[in-house]
Amino acid sequence: MAVDYMLEARGLTRRFGNLVAVRGLDLRIPRGEIYGLVGPDGAGKTTTLRLFCGLIDPQEGEVLVDGINASHDVHAVRDRIGYMPQRFGLYTDLTVEENLLFYADLFGMLGAERDRLMAELLRMTRMEPFRKRLAGNLSGGMKQKLALMSTLLHRPEVLFLDEPTNGVDPVSRRDFWEILYRLVRDGLTVLLSTAYLDEAERCHRVGLMDKGRLILEDAPAELRRALAEPCYAVRGANPRGMREWLGRQPDVLSAEASGGEIHAFLPPESHRVEALLTGLHTAGFADASAVEIEPSLEDVFIALVRREEKASAALVGDHP
C-alpha cells in the first residue's frame, strides 16, 4: 500500500525541562518535495529534524518516515534517511576520498558499487580534483559538499539538512542547491532548516516556525500573499526615527528596516496609509512618503512573528 506522505508529524511535542522546543506540530511532506523550515534561533527547527531522524523521542505525538514510526523502529528509519547536522562532523585529518571510504564502510558498501557511487558523487559535486585534499584544508563550501556526499553514500530516500549553507559563500550556496534539485528530480525528499529567507524561496513549500509552533506554511509565492495587511515601503531622510514612530502605532502590524527604507504592514483600510503619512508629517518627518509593494518572504515572516508576539503579550496582559 502506497504511503501518501514521505514524512508526517502528528501532534508532535518535545520538552527540555520547562522549555517546550516543539509544540503540537502537524506536518505532512509528500515524496519528492523540498520543504524548508524557517524561524529564529530557538524556534524548534533543529529539534524537529532530530525527532524525524529518531535521534530523540517525542513526549507527545508521533513521527512517521515512509509510514514507519521513528520511535518504534529507529533502525528501519535510519536505513531510509540521511542527516547532515549544522557542524562539520567529518575527519579533518583524512582526505576527501578517505572520508568517503570510511563512511562507505560504515554503511556496508563495498567493491564496485561503492566505487561507482563515489565516482558519481564526486562528479556531481565537482569535487574530483580535490579527492586527495585533506578535509581540514577545504573551503566552507567544499566541506558542505563532502558532508553531503557522505550523507548520500547509502542512497537515502529522505535527506535532513540543518542549515546546510550557513556561512557558505554565495557561489557555493548556488552549487549546493543545484545538487539538491538534481537529487529531488531523482525522487529524493528533502526537509531542511535555513536561516536564509532568500534560500527558503527555493523550496517547494516553506513552514514558518516560532516558539515551537508552525504558524504558517505554503509555497513561497503564496506566503508572500498570506497577510491581509498591505505592505508599504516608507521612505524619508530619517528612516530610524520613522521606524520608531511607526512601531508605536497600535494599528501597524510591523515596521522593519530594509536597506534605506522601512517596510511596514498597515491595516487594509485604504485610508490608513494617508492617516499614517499625516501623522509622520506632523511628527516632524516632513519628507515621508509611502508606496505599496509586494512583500518579500522575510517581510511576511517578520510580520507574522510580530503578530504572534502581540497576541502573546495581550494574553499575558489579560492574565496578570
- Identify the three-state secondary structure at position 53: helix
pLDDT digits (tens, 9 = 90+) for 98-150: 999 999 998 888 888 899 999 999 998 999 999 999 999 999 889 989 999 99
Residue 317 has pLDDT above 70, yes or no: no
| 270 has pLDDT over 90 | no
Grid cell, residue 207, equals: 513552514
Tens of pLDDT, residues 138-167: 998 899 899 999 999 888 999 999 998 887
pLDDT at 320: 52
Does position 1 have pLDDT exceeding 80, yes or no?
A: no
Quick one: average pLDDT of 175-188? 91
How far apart are the C-alpha atoms of 276 and 32, rounded to whole Å?
A: 46
DSSP string, 174-220: HHHHHHHHHHHHTT-EEEEEES-HHHHTTSSEEEEEETTEEEEEE-H
Please compute the mean of the pLDDT values over residues 305-319 and round it to a whole number. 70
What is the model's pLDDT at position 27? 96
Strand 34-38 relative to strand 189-194, pairing: parallel
Q: For residue 197, name the pLDDT band (cuts at 50, 70, 90).
A: confident
User: In percent, how much of the chain has pLDDT > 90?
Assistant: 64
SS3 45: helix
Structural domains for the chain? 7-220 (3.40.50.300), 231-318 (3.30.70.100)
pLDDT for 156: 92
Which band of pLDDT confidence, cut at 50, 70 and 90, is reported for residue 271? confident
How confident is the model over 56-71, as pLDDT tens digits?
999 999 999 999 999 8
Name the average pLDDT for the chain.
90
Can you give the pLDDT at residue 174?
87
172-178-181-187 Cα dihedral, nearest 10 degrees: -90
CB 177 within 8 A of CB 148: no
Asked whether residue 79 carries a pLDDT value surpassing 90, the answer given is: no
Q: What are 5-46's pLDDT values in tens digits?
A: 999 999 999 999 999 999 999 999 999 999 999 988 889 999
Helix or strand (DSSP H, E) at 21: strand 19-29
* Alpha-carbon distance values, 51 to 57, 85, 102, 166, 215 (Å): 6, 13, 26, 21, 19
Task: Assign 315 a pLDDT band (cuts: 50, 70, 90).
Answer: low
Give me the half-sphere count of Cα atoms (radius 13 Å) on the Cβ side of residue 222.
10
Instruction: Report the predicted TM-score, pTM, of the whole model to 2 decimal places.
Output: 0.86
